Structure formats: structure tokens, C-alpha cells
């Protein structure tokens, strides 16, 4: 699968791949502060309760050179994906559900919203704590941790003629762009322009990146990509692993 971020402007040359699933991300948990009890109040220890919580999000990272996706468990083969992808990033899939030895995943391919089934033995599965929500009407990107809002960033999105596609996607790669206009970092998204079948020599893949045009933030100004202020994309690049889900509305 070709994986260049080319729906935003001129061809975006893939720079050095920077982060995979765990590199340079901040810890998802911090030590809890020590509990204190006022000296004048007598307390009775509460009974210990262990809760089992199913992870809200998870990502599957390929552990084989080629992952085949099927239309159903033990169904017909429909897609093949090379690992690593063209930029050098590991091949990843956002996991929708597990059925025995099969994983139902989002696929980084056209048409948008395509899902398939992959063998769990072909990947390693990891829990994700972060997610993103994009409001095209509100020109914003909201970061959540364990489905709790952390921060909202102003953003630029696609114009009326080249809109940002809506749906549920995930982050597929993280690059350091080498040409002007894209800021210090660019995430590839498993979404494709629905009006540009190809652009600048690439497949019209949507990205989330910085910008040299700060005045465009808060506007409908791109060819479909999501633009953030450079300091905001830098903060996210240090935090979000590949596979992070992103919902665009």
C-alpha cells in the first residue's frame, strides 16, 4: 500500500520515520499520590475490590511481512498489506473486535470505512489509551485519554470543494516532512480524499500535520488534510502512538 501524505498540497516527501507504537510516547499512567487521612478522624479500611476493565481501544501491529485481510473469519481473502509500509512505519490496524483467533480491524485502504478480518497470530495487540475527535464544523481537534477530554486544539480542515472525509479512522504513520508547508511533523491517517483519487503523484491520503500558514488555522483551507499549529502537532507527536483512533465529524 502506498503511504504518502499527498491530499494537502504539493507532494509531501516522506522524511525520516520518527515514532512507532511505543517510542517517545509519554507513560499512560502516573504514580498515584499517597493517600492521607486527617489525624482526628478514625477510618475503617475499605474492602479490596478488583475490577476487570476491557480496554476501550487497541491496535494490532504486524509481526509478519504480509498481512492478509479477509471478508469474514475463515472467509475469502480480499486484501494484502506489506509490512513495513512504504515510509518504513510498521503496518498497524485499529482493532474493532476479537472473535477467537480473528481480529476485526479498520483497513488503511479505499473506500473509506473498509474493514476486514485478520489472523491474531499475524500481529501483536496493544492497548491504546488516547483517541482523537475532529470537528470539521468547529475547526478543532480534541484529544482524549481513556475517553476523557484532555485538550482541544484549533485546526484547519478541507474546503467545500476538497472536504476532509468523515468517519472513523486511525493514525498509520508519523513523518518528518522534508518540504515546506507541513510543519515539523505529519501523521498519516487511514483516510483518503473522496474527491481527489490521486494528488501530486500519491493516492490522496489524508494527513494531520503542522503548517507554515498559521493564519489558516480555524479555517476551511486545505485539500482535505487537518492542519494544526506547529507547537500542537509537536506535542501530539511526542504522545500518540500509531493506531490511535481518530473520528472525523
The mean pLDDT of the chain is: 84
Is 209 one of the catalytic residues? yes
Grid coordinates given for 51: 475490577
The answer to which of 75-89, 104-118, 172-186 has the lowest mean pLDDT is 172-186
Q: How far apart are CA 249 and CA 247, in angstroms?
A: 7
Burial-class residue 192 by CB neighbours within 10 Å (0-12, 13-18, 19+): buried
Asked if residue 242 lies in contact with residue 226, where contact means CB atoms within 8 angstroms, the answer is no
Which residues contact residue 33 at a Cβ distance below 8 angstroms, ignoring those fewer than 6 apart?
none
> What pLDDT band is residue 8 in, cutting at 50, 70 and 90?
low
CATH of domain 130-248: 2.40.440.10
Does residue 32 sit in helix, strand or coil? coil
Integer Cα distance of 59 and 113 in angstroms: 16
Q: Which tens digits make up the pLDDT trace of 15-39?
A: 445 543 333 333 343 333 333 333 3
57, 139, 209, 223: the catalytic one is: 209
225 in active site: yes
Residue spans per domain, the chain: 57-128, 130-248
For 12, 77, 160, 173, 194, the CA distances from 87, given in Å and listed in that order, are: 12, 25, 30, 8, 23
Provide the CATH topology of domain 57-128: SH3 type barrels. (2.30.30)
More confident residue, 178 or 77: 77
Query: Against a cut of 0.75, is the pTM above it?
Result: yes
* Cα 222 from Cα 208, distance rounded (Å): 11
Amino acid at each position: 500500500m502506498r503511504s504518502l501524505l499527498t491530499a494537502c498540497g504539493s507532494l509531501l516527501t516522506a522524511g525520516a520515520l520518527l515514532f512507532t507504537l511505543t517510542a517517545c510516547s509519554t507513560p499512560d499512567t502516573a504514580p498515584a499520590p499517597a493517600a492521607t487521612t486527617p489525624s482526628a478522624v478514625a477510618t475503617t479500611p475499605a474492602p479490596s475490590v478488583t475490577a476487570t476493565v476491557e480496554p476501550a481501544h487497541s491496535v494490532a501491529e504486524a509481526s509478519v511481512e504480509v498481512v492478509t485481510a479477509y471478508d469474514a473469519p475463515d472467509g475469502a481473502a480480499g486484501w494484502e498489506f506489506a509490512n513495513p509500509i512504504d515510509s518504513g512505519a510498521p503496518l498497524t490496524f485499529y482493532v474493532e473486535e476479537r472473535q477467537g483467533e480473528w481480529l476485526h480491524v479498520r483497513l488503511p485502504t479505499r473506500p473509506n470505512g473498509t474493514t476486514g478480518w485478520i489472523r491474531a497470530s499475524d500481529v501483536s495487540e496493544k492497548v491504546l489509551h488516547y483517541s482523537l475527535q475532529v470537528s470539521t464544523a468547529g475547526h478543532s481537534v480534541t484529544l482524549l485519554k481513556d475517553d476523557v477530554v484532555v485538550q482541544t486544539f484549533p485546526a484547519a480542515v478541507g474546503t467545500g470543494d476538497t472536504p476532509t472525509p468523515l468517519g472513523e479512522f486511525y493514525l498509520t504513520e508519523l513523518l518528518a516532512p522534508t518540504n515546506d508547508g507541513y510543519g515539523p511533523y505529519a501523521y498519516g491517517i487511514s483516510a483518503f480524499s473522496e474527491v481527489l483519487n490521486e494528488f501530486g503523484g500519491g493516492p490522496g491520503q489524508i494527513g494531520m500535520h503542522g503548517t507554515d500558514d498559521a493564519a489558516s488555522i480555524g479555517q476551511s483551507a486545505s485539500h482535505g488534510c487537518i492542519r494544526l499549529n506547529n507547537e500542537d502537532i509537536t506535542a501530539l507527536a511526542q504522545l500518540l502512538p500509531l493506531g490511535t483512533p481518530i473520528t472525523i465529524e
